[in-house]
Amino acid sequence: MDSNNPPDVGTPASRPASPDGEPGSTGRRTTFGPGMLVGPPFGCRDLGIGALLAVLYLVLVMSTTSMGFTRDETFYFDHARTYLNWMLRIVRADGTEERGKLLSRKEVKKVWKNNFEHPPLMKVLFGVSWRFLGQKMRPAAPDAEGRVRIADLGLAHGFEPGDEVPFLLPSQVGEDPRSAERRGGLVRILERRTHDASGEIVDSDVPPEELTRICREATENAEATWQTPCQVRSAGPLQFLSETDAYRLPGALMGALLVLLLYLLAVELGSARVGLLAVLFFMFIPRAFFHAHLTCFDIPITALDLACLLAFLRSLRSGRWAVATGVLWGLALLTKLNAFFIPVTLFLWYLAVAVRDVRREGPWRWTLPDFPLAFILMPLIGLPMLFALWPWVWYDTMAAFAKYVGFHLHHEHYFVYYFGKAYQSPPFPIDYPFTMTFITLPVVLLLLSLAGLSLLFLPAAAPTSEGSRRRWFLLINMLFPIVLIALPSTPIFGGVKHWMLAFPFLCILAAHALLRCFEWAERGVAAVGVRWVDRGLAMRPVRLVVGAGLVLLLAAPAARDTLAFVSNGTAYFNELMRGPRGAAEARVQRQFWSYASRGAVDYLNRTVPPGTTVDFQDATVSTCSMYRREGWLRHDLACAARRHAPDVLLFDVDERFSEEEIRYWGQMDTLGPTHEVHVQGVPVLRVYRKGAGLRFMQESNAGGGGNAM
């Protein structure tokens, strides 16, 4: 790479020079945009490498699904099932009259008013994945005649007449609820009702009377503690995931798509080496990795935003890609409101680079750059997709759309604790997104991205028009999401997930900077003149091994932290902040989504009496219900949320609940927790038991109590 052409904004050397001397251009003038930004289209090799990286990321995400449920996830579980039930009713409707009723204004509004503040695409995908890929385990009560009643069902759960499903014996605390050893026979479904079903045992080595006794023992014996009751498990042909993993799979797939798109975008703006390094940096951003697991919209909208940007680049030389840009923008609009900002960043880039393409050809004659076709097709394709595929806006269209936009324009400001100060109303600190980025990105990525950013501003950073266009494309798309949140009136709750679109561009800058460091190091070694080193580096295999070793060494700390914080992603802070302990000392909020309750279920399963009421405080009752369905939490424990004086309270360690915690001390006659969940020594969840705190504190002083994670 030429030292006078820094960090690529430089162009791959393999791309030929155009007749006008600009490196990286194909020599063909674009018809659709301001000059040339991209080189030859990425080929099958690039797609293959990107796909392999995406599969690797998907496997990594789906093999680390140990976190609890965030509040938002439990809402989306419910809404996904609601939408899916409506669709199934339409498919199963008898005749046009019943179908017309389901499509009527009254019925559509009744169903789709649920969570109207977010478009439906991802919620529908969550529901479809859960319906067809998720194994549902539901309580089953046999009788002495071999009949079985199945409870806790909904329309989309399956268990249709004629289905034969496994019958599962109860499991004890500590046993795997999905173990094959639980299988006790087969049940044929005979009748299906709205919320339950009935069937008969058709294949079992255990007599019906004995099955009935075993199942009653698991549900009626107040002295015994069983993890799960007798159950049946759905057996669809594609159902190989748990319910949780099936709900979360679409988000993980979007994370894999993001990795593929990041690689291809980096190839467009640099080279395959830039793409590999950028993907490696992104894969091990702890907070982004955490969000890739969730049944939420932040990773999906980041992926679709990136897809739009990549398609737009390709559209500068191809009308077909302009059509693709419009379609992808429509999908982004159907995912989250953030999509409306995509044309803004693209138009800002167009203005920034079009200025140098304006030509004066006479006193009153100017030649303007071509207007990108994608700008015309995006609203013509994307907006109709939004209105056609979102039933919420089918009736009273403008009023429904205005309500959607108005919800976000006047969004409630949730509590944020930031360096010892509570924020719940504007103006918010302008430095918030910049500082949070600085203290939550892995240090190596942070330093290299800052180096890459500084290299963009070197005098020779963009000596060509193409280099200038690339520089502006990187800068605008990296800075815009952060600056938007920095506005004093913009809500700042949710942390880095709301400007995650900046991360891929930071990774690209970091990759450029690292490659530049390698070049400088190679030149430095050559200048020293150590012969055996020169000979070694002259061999390509040696250079590859040395380079790969250095990259892995640099990536190792981020990879370690990414896997260590996979269950508590919002508690991650980098070494500049000294981790979660430093954040606690600096009084910075470490969690806000009430997902830490998963860390206490083993303690509850082992210690609390049968029939105990467990209050999940800021987590939802649906969280508790899903824990029981999955077999993580004992089935006999009752679920509650913010109940007065519960038997057991799971309390999120969050500064916004400080006064509430003091009230619970009085209600529960306790002076301290009986158990704590920690992240690197910092508590994220406290377990209170009625009247038991003083004894625990005495035991703790003697050396007992607590739980470290």
pLDDT, residue 674, reads 93
pLDDT at 69 over 70: yes
DSSP 397-424: HHHHHHHHHHHHHT-----EEETTEEE-
pLDDT at 662 over 90: no
| Same domain, yes or no: 267 and 337 | yes
Length of the chain (residues)? 709
Contact 228, 635 (CB under 8 A): yes
Quick one: pLDDT band at residue 243, thresholds 50, 70, 90? very high
Contact 129, 420 (CB under 8 A): no
* Residue with tokens 């080193």, as numbered in its chain: 533
Residue 421 or 13, more confident: 421
Calculate mean pLDDT across residues 574-601.
94
Quick one: pLDDT band at residue 374, thresholds 50, 70, 90? very high
- Select, from the ranges 213-227, 254-268, 608-622, the one with the highest average predicted confidence (pLDDT): 254-268
606: exposed, middle or buried (Cβ count in 10 Å: 0-12, 13-18, 19+)? exposed
Calculate mean pLDDT across residues 615-627.
93
Who's near 345: CB < 8 A, 6+ residues apart? 309, 476, 477, 480
C-alpha pair distances (Å), 252 with each of 129, 248, 291, 296, 301: 12, 6, 9, 10, 12
Inside any domain, residue 180? yes
pLDDT at 508 over 60: yes
Spatial CA neighbour of 241 closest among 136, 85, 125: 136
Residue type, 106: K
Check residue 682 and report its DSSP letter. E
| Same domain, yes or no: 493 and 603 | no
Inside any domain, residue 645? yes
* Residue with tokens 């496994």, as numbered in its chain: 166
pLDDT at 294 over 90: yes
pLDDT, residue 537, reads 59
Rounded-to-integer distance, Cα 350 and Cα 372, Å: 9
Percent above pLDDT 90 for the chain: 71
* Residue with tokens 């006064």, as numbered in its chain: 659
Quick one: pLDDT band at residue 15, thresholds 50, 70, 90? very low
3-state secondary structure (DSSP) of residue 39: coil
pLDDT, residue 1, reads 39
Residue type, 71: R
| Same domain, yes or no: 312 and 445 | yes
Q: b/e for 421-434, b at 16 or more Cβ within 10 A? A: eebeeeebbeebbe
* Mean pLDDT score across all residues of the chain: 88
C-alpha pair distances (Å), 654 with each of 304, 584, 590, 659: 33, 10, 8, 11
Calculate mean pLDDT across residues 447-476.
83
| Same domain, yes or no: 223 and 300 | no
Residue type, 123: K
Residue 53 or 360, more confident: 53
Residue 492 or 337, more confident: 337
pLDDT at 156 over 50: yes
The pair of structure tokens assigned to 641 is: 């949320």
β-pair type (137-142, 147-150): antiparallel
Q: What is the pLDDT of residues 398-417, one digit of tens each?
A: 999 999 999 999 988 889 99
The last residue of a domain, from among 474, 495, 517:
517
Please say whether the dihedral angle defined by the alpha carbons of residues 239, 241, 245 and 248, taken in this order, is positive or negative.
negative
pLDDT, residue 34, reads 39
Rounded-to-integer distance, Cα 509 and Cα 44, Å: 25
Inside any domain, residue 109? no
Rounded-to-integer distance, Cα 27 and Cα 36, Å: 9
The answer to which of 157-166, 519-528, 591-600 has the lowest mean pLDDT is 519-528
Quick one: pLDDT band at residue 204, thresholds 50, 70, 90? confident
Quick one: pLDDT band at residue 521, thresholds 50, 70, 90? confident
| Same domain, yes or no: 169 and 306 | no
pLDDT at 669 over 90: no
Contact 696, 672 (CB under 8 A): yes
Rounded-to-integer distance, Cα 382 and Cα 401, Å: 15
**Domain range for 220:** 137-233
Please say whether the dihedral angle defined by the alpha carbons of residues 34, 35, 38 and 40, taken in this order, is positive or negative.
positive
Rounded-to-integer distance, Cα 202 and Cα 167, Å: 10
| Same domain, yes or no: 509 and 628 | no
pLDDT at 2 over 60: no
Residue 489 or 463, more confident: 489
| Same domain, yes or no: 414 and 294 | yes
| Same domain, yes or no: 278 and 343 | yes
Quick one: pLDDT band at residue 18, thresholds 50, 70, 90? very low
pLDDT at 62 over 90: yes
3-state secondary structure (DSSP) of residue 588: coil
Contact 449, 435 (CB under 8 A): no
Calculate mean pLDDT across residues 652-681.
89
Check residue 371 and report its DSSP letter. P
pLDDT at 631 over 70: yes
Contact 40, 266 (CB under 8 A): no
The last residue of a domain, from among 517, 538, 564:
517
pLDDT, residue 528, reads 62
3-state secondary structure (DSSP) of residue 484: helix
pLDDT, residue 353, reads 86
pLDDT at 24 over 70: no
- The C-alpha angle 637, 642, 647, rounded to 5 degrees, equals 40
pLDDT, residue 397, reads 97
Who's near 93: CB < 8 A, 6+ residues apart? 99, 102
The strand pairing partners of 148, in sequence order, are 142, 199
| Same domain, yes or no: 423 and 473 | yes
Inside any domain, residue 77? no
Q: What is the pLDDT of residues 338-357, one digit of tens each?
A: 999 999 999 999 998 887 77
Inside any domain, residue 445? yes
Rounded-to-integer distance, Cα 467 and Cα 538, Å: 30
Inside any domain, residue 171? yes
Please say whether the dihedral angle defined by the alpha carbons of residues 25, 29, 31 and 32, taken in this order, is positive or negative.
positive
pLDDT, residue 225, reads 79
pLDDT, residue 36, reads 40
505: exposed, middle or buried (Cβ count in 10 Å: 0-12, 13-18, 19+)? buried
pLDDT at 73 over 70: yes
Q: Name the CA radius of gyration of the chain, rounded.
A: 29
| Same domain, yes or no: 354 and 422 | yes
The last residue of a domain, from among 491, 517, 543:
517
Q: What is the pLDDT of residues 531-577, one digit of tens each?
A: 655 665 566 676 678 788 889 999 999 999 999 999 999 999 999 99
Calculate mean pLDDT across residues 143-155.
94
Inside any domain, residue 636? yes
Phi, psi of 183 (to 5 degrees): -60, 125
The answer to which of 8-17, 263-272, 688-697 has the lowest mean pLDDT is 8-17
Contact 113, 221 (CB under 8 A): no
Contact 182, 129 (CB under 8 A): no
Quick one: pLDDT band at residue 3, thresholds 50, 70, 90? very low
The answer to which of 59-63, 172-176, 596-600, 668-672 has the lowest mean pLDDT is 668-672
3-state secondary structure (DSSP) of residue 651: strand
Percent above pLDDT 70 for the chain: 87
Who's near 207: CB < 8 A, 6+ residues apart? none
Quick one: pLDDT band at residue 360, thresholds 50, 70, 90? low
pLDDT at 394 over 80: yes
| Same domain, yes or no: 358 and 461 | yes
Quick one: pLDDT band at residue 53, thresholds 50, 70, 90? very high
Quick one: pLDDT band at residue 250, thresholds 50, 70, 90? very high
Rounded-to-integer distance, Cα 87 and Cα 134, Å: 18
The answer to which of 157-161, 486-490, 641-645 has the lowest mean pLDDT is 641-645
Check residue 368 and report its DSSP letter. P
Phi, psi of 412 (to 5 degrees): -60, 140
Query: How far apart, in Å, do the first and last CA atoms of the chain sit?
Result: 47
Contact 580, 595 (CB under 8 A): no
pLDDT at 48 over 80: yes
Contact 454, 311 (CB under 8 A): no
Q: Quote the pTM value.
A: 0.91
pLDDT, residue 540, reads 65
Rounded-to-integer distance, Cα 224 and Cα 542, Å: 64
Quick one: pLDDT band at residue 705, thresholds 50, 70, 90? very low
The strand pairing partners of 416, in sequence order, are 423
| Same domain, yes or no: 347 and 304 | yes
Calculate mean pLDDT across residues 115-130.
98
Q: How many domains does the chain have?
A: 3
